[in-house]
C-alpha cells in the first residue's frame, strides 16, 4: 500500500491559479495509475486528471485546457497545476493511486479504479 499526502490547497479568486502536490511513498510497480479527484459538498467524487506509468494523461472535459497533471519521479510527487480557476472548481481534492491491473473494468477517471487515497486538500474559488 502507498501513502499519499496532498498539499497546496487554499482560497483563490476566479481566474487565479493553484498547484496541488501529492507526496507518495515509494511506488515500485512497473505499471500504475495516479490521479486527482475532487468532491464538492453534496456531490459524488469525480475524476479530474490521470497520469499513468506510460506518461499518458486523461482529463475530465470540465478541466481540459485549464489543468495539467504531472509527476516528478525523483521526488515521488504528483502535481496538479490549476489555471483559470472557476467557482465550480471549489471542492476537496484527493490524490489516488492504483497498480495497473487493479479493477481495469472501470474507466481511469472512475474512483473505483483506485485503491490508495490521500486525505484531501481543500480548494475554494470565489467569484
The rounded mean pLDDT for the chain is 95
Specify the pLDDT at position 60: 98
pLDDT band at 59 (very low <50, low <70, confident <90, very high): very high
The DSSP call for residue 66 is T
* Averaged pLDDT for residues 101-111: 94
Contacts of 102 (CB under 8 A, 6+ apart): 113, 114, 115
State the cell numbers at 104: 481495469
The whole-number pLDDT of residue 8 equals 98
Asked if residue 124 has pLDDT above 80, the reply is yes
| Residue 81 contacts residue 65 (beta carbons within 8 Å) | no
Q: What is the Cα–Cα distance from 86 to 16, expressed in whole angstroms?
A: 8
Q: How far apart are CA 102 and CA 107, in angstroms?
A: 11
**Res. 100: pLDDT tops 70:** yes
Q: What are phi and psi of 117, to 5 degrees?
A: -135, 145
Amino acid at each position: 500500500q502507498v501513502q499519499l499526502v496532498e498539499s497546496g490547497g487554499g482560497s483563490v479568486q476566479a481566474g487565479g491559479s493553484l498547484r496541488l502536490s501529492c507526496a507518495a511513498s515509494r511506488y515500485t510497480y512497473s505499471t500504475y495509475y495516479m490521479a486527482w479527484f475532487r468532491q464538492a459538498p453534496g456531490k459524488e467524487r469525480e475524476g479530474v486528471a490521470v497520469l499513468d506509468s506510460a506518461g499518458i494523461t486523461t482529463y475530465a472535459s470540465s478541466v481540459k485546457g485549464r489543468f495539467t497533471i504531472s509527476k516528478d519521479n525523483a521526488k515521488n510527487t504528483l502535481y496538479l497545476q490549476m489555471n483559470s480557476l472557476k467557482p465550480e472548481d471549489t471542492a476537496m481534492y484527493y490524490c489516488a493511486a492504483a497498480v495497473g491491473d487493479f479493477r481495469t473494468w472501470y474507466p481511469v477517471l472512475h474512483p473505483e479504479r483506485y485503491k490508495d487515497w490521500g486525505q484531501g486538500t481543500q480548494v475554494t474559488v470565489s467569484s
